Amino acid sequence: MSGKEKFASVVILSYNSKEDLAECIPSLISQTYQDFEIIVVDNASTDASEEFVRINYPEIKVVQTGKNLGYAAGNNAGFEVAEGEYIVIINPDTVADSKWLAELIKPLENDLTIAATTSKILMYYQNDKINACSTINHYTGLTFCRGLNKPACEFDNYQEVGAVAGCSFAIRRDMLKNIDGFDSEFFLYLEDTDLSWRVRFAGGKIMYAPGSIIFHKCKLSIPPWKEFYLERNRYLILLKNFSSRTLLLLLPALIVTEIVTIGHAVLNGPKYIKSKLQAYLWVIKNINEILTKRHKTICKKITTDREFFGLLDWKIPFEQVIKLPMMSKTVDIVFNSFYAFHMKLISRIV
């Protein structure tokens, strides 16, 4: 790493990630792009992660939060000490290709209208398969991995996308400051989607950079506690970012999506149903705080809801959540036919 002025700050949020950091950090030090600093934010790990970094990599900044703040607030703690013009977020359970950072930063250096970039994320244990090439943003707030399980050779086109994948992305420091970083209320999951929506509404472009390759030790599952965060945070995204008129136009699709998500909870058992109900209750209890955040977000909107809809998706990839192929295909036809029609209708009047 260069002793010159830092052009990028790479933030790694760690929670009991000592073994992963032992592989992730060397891959960062070996980058072809050298003008950057590394910041490890430790969320009160109990596996000596902090000591491992301080002893083996004394040049790395370490931020100790003192407790598990979650993904959103933990990364925000790293942003506070970052010196770079570009802020880069990377998960600890990843290994970066040597050109990962150079390819991620390149679009930002070449085009001032681009506010953020996101990587091609491949599966660590099956590196011939894709984990995510940005995320699929459904217009009802649901998110999915774009390109999941597709061959690694696909999705090779540099293009504008609707959202970053939180595992690996870069954002301009001034944009991050303008939108106030991550919303710490999210704690875990969909905070990258919320941040992306606010970037887009603030007038920034998000680009997918296929040459920026990283390998992720991903574990794709939805335990009951995760169901709560996914649903609660989806409601937060919608309520914070869309105008009242747009939410009214979305109502038929939102009702249908409740049928989909309630069905998912029922099929998975009582613990999932409880998580779904807890998401509803949380929103009701915190509606005043949500409306305050909504006011701040809407005041900063430059992009209209109609323009924003151009980067949202209507199709839900049911194969990512339903394990039975025939059931997945039937559900796909029934629900996605409705979403396609509804999206086409409201896109003209939103």
pLDDT band at 324; cut points 50, 70, 90: low
Distance of CA 254 to the CA centre of its chain: 21
Strand partners, 120: 133, 213
80-94, pLDDT tens digit by residue? 999 999 999 999 999
Section 137-156 average pLDDT:
96
CB atoms within 10 A of CB 47: 14
More confident residue, 27 or 297: 27
240, 152 contact by CB (below 8 A): no
pLDDT of 305 over the 60 cut = yes
pLDDT (mean) for 179-206: 95
* Spans of all domains in the chain: 8-216, 224-347
CB 143 within 8 A of CB 190: yes
Residue 24 pLDDT > 50: yes
pLDDT in tens, 238-254: 999 999 999 999 999 99
Tell me the average pLDDT of the chain: 94
56 Cβ contact partners less than 8 Å away, ≥ 6 residues apart: none
274, 224 Cβ separation under 8 angstroms: yes
Considering the entire predicted model, what is its pTM? 0.93
Confidence check: pLDDT of 325 > 80: no
Residue 2's pLDDT band (cuts 50, 70, 90): very low
pLDDT at residue 3, rounded to an integer:
44
Judged against a pLDDT cut of 80, whether residue 71 lies above it is answered with: yes
- What are the pLDDT digits (tens) for 48-60? 999 999 999 999 9
Q: What is the DSSP letter of 4?
A: S
Residue 296 has a CB neighbour count (10 Å cut-off) of 12
Q: 31 in the Ramachandran plot: left (φ > 0), alpha (ψ -120 to 50) or beta? A: beta
Percentage of residues of the chain with pLDDT beyond 70 = 98
**With 60 as the cut, is the pLDDT of residue 4 above it?**
no
Tokens matching residue 288: 């005043």
Q: What is the CATH number of domain 8-216?
A: 3.90.550.10
| Confidence band of 183 (pLDDT split at 50, 70, 90) | very high
The dihedrals phi and psi of 117, each to the nearest 5 degrees, come to -135, 155
Average pLDDT over residues 14-43: 96
